[in-house]
C-alpha cells in the first residue's frame, strides 16, 4: 500500500443555511488506537468545513466506540437512548457511531437506535463527512462499513490533540489469534506502513513542535513481516534516533512472542528511545497462555525482562493481566502471582475476564464464577500495589526530567502542583515554589523526587528553590496554539491532551 494524502472535499452539510459552520464533538471510548483514530475523525471533519465544539452540545456528535470493554454494546445503546431526547431538543443534530463496536454491530445499530444518522467502521473513517452529507440530504441513516482497509488511516487529515506529543501508527490490524481478543476480527490482518512514510510523519510532527512520539501498532514487533524484514522495528527505532529535535520515543504494544534482542539493543543504543516498556503478560500460567493461544511461556517472558534490565537498568516495565480466563484454576492463578512478583512491574493494567461475544474464549467451557474472579483480582491488585509502591519509593532522592503535560493531574488546582511524565513514563506531580517561573506544557523540568506512591511520584521542592525549567520548542508550540485559539498561554489552561495510558484500571491508589 503506497501512501498519498487523502483529500477530504468540503461538504455542504458542514454549513447551516445562513452560512455559519456546523459544529462537531468526538466522544472517544477505549484504547490509544481509538484516541488516535479520533484525531483523524476530527481532522476529516475540520477539512470538510465543520468546526470543533468544546462540549458535547454540538451539531454533530460522533461516538468512537470500543468493543473490548465489558458490556460495550449495552452501554452504547444506553447512551444512544439518552441522546435521542437530546436530539429532539437540538434541531438538525446528527449522531454518528464509528469504531470497533460499529464494525461489529453493523446495521443493528440503526435498527435498535433509529436516532443514529451514520454508522461507519474502522476502515473508512475518512468517509464520515460524505456519509453525514448523504444522511442529511436523503433524510435517512447511512451505514457504511468496509471489510478491509482501502487507504491507510494515516493519510487522512489529522487534528492532533497535543502539541508536544503525538501518536504515529506503524501498522494496523493483527495476525495473531488470541482467544480472548476481538481485535483481529474487527481490525483485520496486519498492514504495515513503509518506514519512509512513518519517518516522514514523525519529522512533520517534530517540525510542528512535538518532542515526543509514540509508535502505535497492535503488535509492533511483527512490524515488517508484511514487507519481508523481520528486523524492521529495531531499525525504525534507530532511525527515530537520527531525527533532530525528537527527544522522546515510545512504542506500544509489543508482543512477548515476537520480542527479539535486536529490539532490546536498538532501545538501549538509541538515546531518545525512553527507558520504558509495556510488555503484556496476560497470564503467568503456561497452561492458560496455551489456551489463550499466546505462544510464549512464562520463562521466556521473564527472560525478556531480564535482558531488558541488563541493558537498561532503570527501565520501567508495565503490563496487562487478565484474571479468571476460562478454566483458570487457583494453581494457574498462583503462577500469575509468581510471575508478577518476579517481574517487579512499575504498574499493571488488570482486567477481570468477561465474555466478549465473537471471541473463541466466549464459548469455552469452565467459565470462572464472578466471585472467584473478583477475589483473585483483589489479591493481584494488592500484590501489584505493594510492588508499585516499593519501586516508586526507590526513586525518592533521584532527579527526574519531567515533560510537563496537560490534564493529567486531576488535583493540581487544589494541590498547587503541575504534572508531567518522567523519562520512564511515570506520572510526576511537582510543586511550583512561590516566585518560580511556571513551565508550559511541553517544557521539561528537572525535579527531585520527594515521595513515591503506588501510581505516582511527588516532587515537592522542600527547600523552595525555583524550578529548573528547560524551555522547549514544544512549549513554544503550545504557546502559539494557545495564542491562535485566543487562550492566555498560561500553564493552567488546558488544551485537550493525549492520554498516554491504556484502557481500564491502573493498579495503585488513585491520585
Ligand atoms: S496480539 Fe493483541 S491485538 Fe493481536 S490478537 Fe492478541 S491481544 Fe489481540
Residues 6+ apart with CB under 8 A from 152: 1, 3, 169, 172, 191, 193, 197
Q: What is the pTM of this model?
A: 0.82
Q: Per the omega criterion (within 30 degrees of 0), is the bond before 272 cis? A: no
Q: Please tell me the CATH code under which domain 12-144 is placed.
A: 3.40.50.12160
Q: Has 240 been labeled as part of a binding site?
A: no
176 lines ligand 1 (CB under 6 A): yes
Taking 80 as the threshold, does the pLDDT of residue 155 lie above it? no
Ligand 1 site-directed mutation target among 255, 288, 359, most atoms within 8 Å of CB = 255
Quote the pLDDT of residue 239: 98
pLDDT of residue 348: 96
Cα(49) to ligand 1 centroid in Å equals 37
Sign of CA dihedral 499, 504, 508, 509: positive
* pLDDT value at 500 more than 60: no
**How far is the C-alpha of 181 from the C-alpha of 315, rounded, in Å?**
28
Q: What is the best residue among 32, 33, 181 to mutate for testing ligand 1's pocket, by most ligand atoms within 8 Å of CB?
A: 181
Query: For 159-391, CATH number?
Result: 3.80.30.20
Q: 2 falls in which pLDDT band (50, 70, 90)?
A: low
Give the start-to-end residue ranges of the domains of the chain.
12-144, 159-391, 399-489+496-506
Give 69's pLDDT tier (boundaries 50, 70, 90): low
From 185, 187, 218, give the residue whose CB has the most ligand 1 atoms within 8 Å, as the site to mutate.
218
From residue 184, how far is each of 40, 130, 176 by CA, in Å?
A: 21, 27, 7
If you take atom 6 of ligand 1, which residue's CA is the nearest one? 178
Q: Is 181 in the pocket of ligand 1 (CB under 6 A)?
A: yes
Contact between 345 and 384 under an 8 Å Cβ cutoff? The reply is: yes
Is residue 486 a known part of a binding site?
Answer: no
Confidence (pLDDT) at 507: 34
pLDDT in tens, 269-304: 999 999 999 999 999 999 999 999 999 999 999 999
For residues 466-494, give the mean pLDDT.
76
The residue-averaged pLDDT of 167-181 equals: 91
43-52, 61-70, 356-365, range with the lowest pLDDT: 61-70
pLDDT confidence of residue 70:
67
Tell me which fold the domain 399-489+496-506 belongs to: OB fold (Dihydrolipoamide Acetyltransferase, E2P) (2.40.50)
What share of the chain has pLDDT > 70, as a percent? 93
List the one residue out of 38, 41, 140 whose CA is nearest residue 94.
140
pLDDT over 60 at 509, yes or no: no
- pLDDT of the residue at 486: 62
Question: Would you say the CB of residue 132 lies under 6 angstroms from ligand 1?
Answer: no
Query: Which pLDDT does position 498 carry in this prediction?
Result: 27
Q: Is 66 annotated as a binding residue?
A: yes
Q: Tens digit of pLDDT for each residue in 238-248?
A: 999 999 999 99
Amino acid at each position: 500500500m503506497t501512501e498519498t494524502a487523502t483529500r477530504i472535499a468540503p461538504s455542504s452539510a458542514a454549513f447551516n443555511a445562513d452560512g455559519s459552520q456546523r459544529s462537531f464533538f468526538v466522544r472517544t471510548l477505549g484504547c490509544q488506537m481509538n484516541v488516535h483514530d479520533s484525531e483523524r475523525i476530527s481532522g476529516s471533519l475540520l477539512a470538510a468545513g465543520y468546526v470543533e465544539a468544546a462540549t458535547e452540545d454540538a451539531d454533530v456528535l460522533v461516538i468512537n466506540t470500543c468493543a473490548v470493554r465489558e458490556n460495550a454494546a449495552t452501554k452504547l445503546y444506553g447512551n444512544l437512548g439518552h441522546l435521542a431526547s437530546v436530539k429532539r431538543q437540538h434541531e438538525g443534530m446528527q449522531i454518528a457511531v464509528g469504531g470497533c463496536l460499529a464494525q461489529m454491530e453493523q446495521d443493528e445499530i440503526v435498527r435498535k437506535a433509529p436516532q443514529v444518522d451514520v454508522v461507519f467502521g474502522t476502515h473508512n473513517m475518512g468517509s464520515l463527512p460524505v456519509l453525514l452529507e448523504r444522511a442529511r440530504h436523503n433524510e435517512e441513516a447511512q451505514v457504511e462499513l468496509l471489510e478491509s482497509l482501502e487507504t491507510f488511516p494515516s493519510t487522512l487529515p489529522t487534528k492532533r490533540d497535543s502539541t508536544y506529543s503525538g501518536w504515529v501508527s506503524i501498522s494496523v490490524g493483527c495476525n495473531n489469534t488470541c482467544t480472548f481478543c476481538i481485535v483481529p476480527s474487527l481490525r483485520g490482518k496486519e498492514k504495515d506502513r513503509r518506514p519512509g512514510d512513518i519517518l516522514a510523519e514523525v519529522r512533520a510532527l517534530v517540525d510542528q513542535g512535538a518532542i515526543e512520539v509514540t509508535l502505535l501498532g497492535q503488535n509492533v514487533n511483527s512490524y515488517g513481516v508484511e514487507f519481508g524484514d523481520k528486523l524492521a522495528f529495531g531499525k525504525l527505532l534507530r532511525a527515530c534516533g537520527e531525527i533532530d529535535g525528537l527527544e522522546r520515543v515510545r512504542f506500544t504494544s509489543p508482543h512477548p512472542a515476537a520480542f527479539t534482542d535486536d529490539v532490546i539493543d536498538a532501545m538501549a543504543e538509541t538515546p531518545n528511545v525512553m527507558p520504558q516498556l509495556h510488555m503484556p503478560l496476560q497470564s503467568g500460567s503456561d497452561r492458560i497462555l496455551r489456551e489463550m493461544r499466546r505462544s510464549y511461556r512464562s520463562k521466556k517472558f521473564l527472560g525478556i525482562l531480564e535482558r531488558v534490565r541488563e541493558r537498561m537498568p532503570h527501565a520501567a516495565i508495565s503490563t496487562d493481566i487478565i484474571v479468571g480466563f476460562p478454566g483458570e484454576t487457583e494453581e494457574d492463578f498462583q503462577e500469575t502471582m509468581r510471575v508478577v512478583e518476579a517481574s517487579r512491574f512499575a504498574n499493571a493494567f488488570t482486567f477481570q475476564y468477561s465474555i466478549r461475544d465473537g471471541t473463541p474464549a466466549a464459548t469455552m467451557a469452565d467459565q470462572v464464577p464472578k466471585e472467584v474472579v473478583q477475589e483473585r483480582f483483589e489479591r493481584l491488585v494488592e500484590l501489584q500495589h505493594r510492588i508499585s509502591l516499593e519501586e516508586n519509593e526507590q526513586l525518592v532522592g533521584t532527579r527526574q526530567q519531567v515533560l510537563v503535560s496537560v490534564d493529567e493531574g486531576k488535583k493540581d488546582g487544589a494541590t498547587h502542583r503541575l504534572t508531567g511524565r518522567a523519562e520512564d513514563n511515570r506520572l510526576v506531580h511537582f510543586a511550583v515554589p512561590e516566585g518560580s517561573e511556571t513551565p508550559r506544557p511541553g517544557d521539561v523540568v528537572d525535579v527531585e523526587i520527594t515521595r513515591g506512591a503506588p501510581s505516582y511520584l511527588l516532587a515537592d521542592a522542600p527547600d523552595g528553590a525555583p524550578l529548573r525549567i528547560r524551555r522547549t520548542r514544544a512549549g513554544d508550540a503550545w504557546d502559539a496554539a494557545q495564542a491562535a485559539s485566543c487562550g492566555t498561554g498560561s500553564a493552567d489552561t488546558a488544551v485537550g491532551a493525549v492520554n498516554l495510558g491504556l484502557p481500564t484500571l491502573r493498579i495503585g491508589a488513585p491520585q
